[in-house]
């Protein structure tokens, strides 16, 4: 078992929704930490439970990534009473799963898009402004510190990936009823973009929200 396979297994567990915050809002993280080659045990594992004092909190696991310091960053959505979208919540744990810190985003930041996007020692994800529906790019250090957000001139982020030290962003323009594919730099510069029509029909906003 190697670290990449381990992280894939963890991600599958999170994406399949097998871990849920239930009853006293315990956020349960199951992490399998593999030792380096030539270590005595190739499959050391641990279970960590994180208590949340906010009784009404509810989380949706989205993605987890191992950081350069061997710890982990956990990206989750939060149920919001004020929006049909989910909010954003991030937890930083060390290599043994011990809680380091968390980031509770305001309810104006919603719709975190999987997956974590790593460039060097910074970990990025796209989210959306709940009022303007504008795309925002967020960076988090490996220590779990939030960087200043960057506004991107698109709406409804749907998916993103990394290529050649930039991001490929898929978004949706509700005015033109088109999907937009863009290359965005970590500084928020748009290098290129192209729109694609969704075809006949205009009742698309609800499926986009549910995406």
pTM for this one?
A: 0.76
Closest Cα to residue 197, out of 182, 177, 211? 177
The pLDDT of residue 44 is 64
- What does the alpha-carbon distance between residue 211 and residue 46 come to, in Å, rounded to a whole number? 32
The pLDDT of residue 202 is 65
- What does the alpha-carbon distance between residue 123 and residue 71 come to, in Å, rounded to a whole number? 13
The pLDDT of residue 188 is 96
List of domains in the chain: 3-209 (2.40.128.630)
Q: Angle at Cα 109 formed by Cα 80 and Cα 209, nearest 5°?
A: 65
The residue assigned the tokens 């506004």 is 151
Q: Angle at Cα 187 formed by Cα 113 and Cα 148, nearest 5°?
A: 70
- What does the alpha-carbon distance between residue 16 and residue 64 come to, in Å, rounded to a whole number? 13
Give the DSSP letter of residue 16.
T
Give the DSSP letter of residue 34.
P
The pLDDT of residue 84 is 83
Q: What is the pLDDT of residues 47-103, one digit of tens each?
A: 777 767 666 778 889 999 999 999 999 999 999 988 888 999 999 999 989 999 999
What order of strands is seen across the sheet that includes strand 134-141?
A: 109-119, 122-129, 134-141, 150-155
């Amino acid at each position: 078992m190697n670290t990449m396979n381990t992280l894939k297994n963890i991600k599958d567990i999170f994406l399949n929704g097998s871990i849920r915050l239930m009853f006293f809002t315990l956020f349960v993280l199951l992490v399998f930490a593999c030792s380096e080659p030539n270590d005595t045990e190739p499959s050391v594992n641990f279970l960590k439970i994180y208590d949340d004092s906010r009784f009404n909190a509810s989380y949706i696991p989205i993605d987890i990534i191992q950081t350069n310091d061997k710890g982990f960053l956990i990206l989750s959505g939060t149920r919001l009473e004020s929006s049909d979208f989910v909010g954003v919540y991030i937890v930083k744990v060390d290599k043994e799963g011990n809680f380091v810190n968390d980031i509770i985003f305001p309810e104006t930041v919603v719709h975190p898009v999987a997956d974590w996007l790593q460039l060097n020692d910074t970990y990025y994800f796209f989210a959306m402004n709940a009022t303007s529906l504008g795309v925002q790019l967020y960076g988090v250090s490996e220590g779990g510190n939030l960087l200043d957000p960057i506004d991107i001139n698109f709406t409804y982020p749907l998916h993103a990936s990394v290529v050649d030290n930039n991001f490929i962003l898929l978004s949706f323009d509700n005015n033109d009823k088109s999907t937009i594919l863009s290359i965005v730099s970590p500084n928020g510069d748009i290098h290129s973009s192209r729109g694609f029509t969704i075809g006949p029909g205009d009742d698309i906003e609800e499926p986009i929200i549910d995406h």
